[in-house]
Amino acid sequence: MKKLYIGVDVGGTKIQANLVAEDGAVRADNRHDTPRNCGSEVSVNAVEESIRTLLYENNLTVKDIGGIGIAVPGLVVPETGYVVVTPNMNLSNVELGKILKKRLGITVAVGNDCNLGTLGEFRYGSGRGAKSVVGIFVGTGIGSGIVIDGKVIGGAACGAGEIGHIVARVPVKSWKNFLDSAQFELPKKAVKCGCGNYGCLESLASRTAIERMIREGLADGVKSVIKAIDNDAVIKSGALLKALKANDPLVTAVMRYASYVIGYGCLTVRHLLDPEVIVLGGGVIEACHKFMLPIIDEVVQGDQLAAAKSDRRITVAELGDNAVAVGAAALNE
């Protein structure tokens, strides 16, 4: 019998626990809503309950499991399982790995969700067989992970791979801005990222950024079917796809812009790390990749910087919603 592992994807809206075989196949899973407006103890309990429920539903005990991996959307110290900060949920400053190891009686590894999503694609998805993979996940924000020779690259302070926060637009037009003033002032329309910096890739091409630009267009009187498609407070990726299929001029223009920005982000990654494979995933890519990928490829293929012949490629993630949990399970192999 193949060894079994558990991988848990702890997101801002859902907790997904997968039972994963050593070949990466998902044998079973369960999903629960992530607790909101509560203390960290409630969230830790919810993660523990998702694991115990998965075991119970499959007639297993902890002794049947080779290890547990947990992915969280934040800064994690993987050596200790300590969660430094989770901006969109309440697990900051929590020794998650240590707490769950004590409760469950088994080693619990913890990592960043995008790092582990990339690891999942490296081992079992679009990046399998490659030596180096960079994953870029476009959703509410833009996250990324770097895997080289099977190892997740975390960086000196566990902050490597934050491609969503590379500066894609410098908030100053030219040196002329400094002629009349020794102190630089940001342009009035400079876009501030959620991280607090200006000009981040995430602030220009994430689903949140795409929604902001669409709403700007609507406020300026640009006609669009998007209102009829999605009246919710959030313009979801599925609504963007429907608008693209309807040849909506506003959504098409915004999505073309976001695709070019992501394309130049991929070009930056290639110049900096030159990975064999760049894997694109996340809700926006999953929904709209048929529109976006040709534009992204156009930007990257138009690179004028000479390079040796290689099998480098940009591709779409294969594992979908399971990538992060599968990658989390792979921490124990």
pLDDT digit string (tens) for the chain, length 333 residues = 568 999 999 988 889 999 999 999 999 999 988 888 888 999 999 999 999 999 999 999 999 999 999 999 989 999 999 999 887 788 999 999 999 999 999 989 999 999 999 999 999 999 999 999 999 999 888 999 999 999 999 888 888 888 989 988 887 777 777 776 656 677 667 788 878 888 899 999 999 999 999 999 998 999 899 877 766 668 889 999 999 999 999 999 999 999 999 999 999 999 999 999 999 999 999 999 999 999 999 999 998 887 877 789 999 999 988 999 999 999 887
What is the Cα–Cα distance from 266 to 153, expressed in whole angstroms?
A: 18
Long-range contacts from 124-130, C-beta under 8 angstroms, 24+ separation? 124/23, 124/24, 124/318, 124/319, 124/326, 124/330, 125/279, 125/317, 125/318, 125/319, 125/323, 125/326, 126/277, 126/279, 126/315, 126/316, 126/317, 126/318, 127/276, 127/277, 127/279, 130/275, 130/276, 130/277
Question: 94: which DSSP letter?
Answer: B
Check residue 172 and give its pLDDT: 75
Instruction: Calculate the alpha carbon distances from 240 to 67, 213, 245, 249, 253 in Å.
Output: 39, 12, 9, 12, 12
Dmax over Cα atoms in the chain, in whole Å?
73
What is the Cα–Cα distance from 210 to 142, expressed in whole angstroms?
A: 12
Check residue 273 and give its pLDDT: 93
Check residue 38 and give its pLDDT: 87
Is the pTM higher than 0.85? The answer reads: yes
Q: Which of 212, 208, 205 is nearest to 261 (CA)?
A: 205
Q: 4-125+322-330 with 132-317: one CATH topology?
A: yes
Per-domain residue ranges of the chain:
4-125+322-330, 132-317
For domain 132-317, which CATH number applies: 3.40.50.720, 3.30.420.40, 3.40.718.10, 3.10.350.10? 3.30.420.40
Check residue 149 and give its pLDDT: 93
Question: 114: which DSSP letter?
Answer: H
Residue bearing tokens 């079973």: 28
Check residue 217 and give its pLDDT: 93
Check residue 182 and give its pLDDT: 59
Q: Does domain 4-125+322-330 have CATH number 3.30.420.40?
A: yes
Check residue 36 and give its pLDDT: 82
